[in-house]
Structure 1
Amino acid sequence: MADGRNSTTVEEFILLGLTSQKNIQIVLFPVFLSLYIVSLTGNIIIIILSRISSQLHTPMYFFLSNLSFLDIWYTSSIVPNMLINFLSVRRNISFNGCVTQMFIHLSLGGTECYLLLSMAYDRYVAICSPLHYTTIMHPILCIKMATGSWAGGIINSVVHTVLALQLPFCGPNVINHFFCEIPSVLELACVDTSLNKTVIFFFAMLVVMGPFFLILITYGYIISSILKISTSVGRRKAFSTCASHIIVVSLFYGAIIFMYMRPGSTHVEGQDKMATLFYSVITPMLNPLIYTLRNKDVMGAFVDIRRKTFVSEK
Structure 2
Amino acid sequence: MECSLECANRSSNQDFILLGLSPSPSIRNTLFAVFLALYLLILLENTLIIYLTCSRHELHKPMYFFLGNLSALELCYVSVTMPTLLMGLRLGACRVSFPACMGQRFLFLALMCTKCALLVSMAYDRYVAVCCPLHYPVRMRPPVCRSLAAGAWLGGLGVSAARTACVTRLARCAPSVLDHFFCAARALRGGACEPVANLADVLVASAVEGGSLLAALAAYAAIADALLRLPSASATCRALAACASHLVVMGVFYTAMLTVDACAGRGRHAELDKALSLLYTVLTPACSPVVYCLRNREVHDALRRSLCRLARSREN
What TM-score range do you get, normalising by the shorter chain? over 0.9
Q: Which amino acid aligns with 2:56?
A: S
Q: TM-score when scaled to structure 2? A: 0.93
Question: In 1, distance between residues paired with 2:46 and 2:93?
Answer: 32
Structure-2 residue corresponding to 1:142? 145
Q: Which amino acid aligns with 1:41?
A: L
Aligned length: 312
* 1:54–1:27 CA distance, 2 compared to 1 (3 A): same
Question: In 2, distance between residues paired with 1:300 and 1:250?
Answer: 28
Larger CA deviation: 84-93 vs 245-254 = 84-93
Structure-2 residue corresponding to 1:215? 216
Structure-1 residue corresponding to 2:188? 185
Q: For 2:96, what is the secondary structure of its paired residue?
A: strand
Give the drift of 1:71: 0.6
- Contact 2:15–2:176 (CA under 8 A) maintained in structure 1: yes
Residue 129 (structure 2) pairs with residue 126 (structure 1): yes
Question: In 2, distance between residues paired with 1:170 and 1:127?
Answer: 50
* 1:219–1:86 CA distance, 2 compared to 1 (3 A): same
Residue 16 (structure 2) pairs with residue 9 (structure 1): no
Residue 107 (structure 2) pairs with residue 112 (structure 1): no
| Unaligned stretches of 5+ residues in structure 2 | none
Structure-1 residue corresponding to 2:276? 275
Give the drift of 1:33: 0.3
Question: In 2, distance between residues paired with 1:136 and 1:162?
Answer: 37
Structure-2 residue corresponding to 1:238? 239
* 1:301–1:266 CA distance, 2 compared to 1 (3 A): farther
Give the drift of 1:89: 4.4
Give the drift of 1:306: 1.4
* 1:151–1:228 CA distance, 2 compared to 1 (3 A): same
Q: For 2:91, what is the secondary structure of its paired residue?
A: coil
* 1:173–1:68 CA distance, 2 compared to 1 (3 A): same
Question: In 1, distance between residues paired with 2:92 and 2:57?
Answer: 50
Structure-2 residue corresponding to 1:304? 305
Structure-2 residue corresponding to 1:157? 160
| Unaligned stretches of 5+ residues in structure 1 | none
Per-residue CA deviation, residues 78-119 of structure 1 (Å, 9 max, x unaligned), is: 112211221214511111110111111111011100100000
Give the drift of 1:308: 2.3
Structure-2 residue corresponding to 1:32? 35
Q: For 1:93, what is the secondary structure of its paired residue?
A: strand
- Contact 1:291–1:298 (CA under 8 A) maintained in structure 2: no
Question: In 1, distance between residues paired with 2:173 and 2:130?
Answer: 55
From the two aligned structures, give the one with the greater helix fraction: 2
Structure-1 residue corresponding to 2:261? 260
Give the drift of 1:173: 1.0
Give the drift of 1:265: 1.5
* 1:143–1:16 CA distance, 2 compared to 1 (3 A): same
Larger CA deviation: 261-270 vs 75-84 = 261-270
- Contact 1:10–1:170 (CA under 8 A) maintained in structure 2: no
Give the drift of 1:160: 1.6
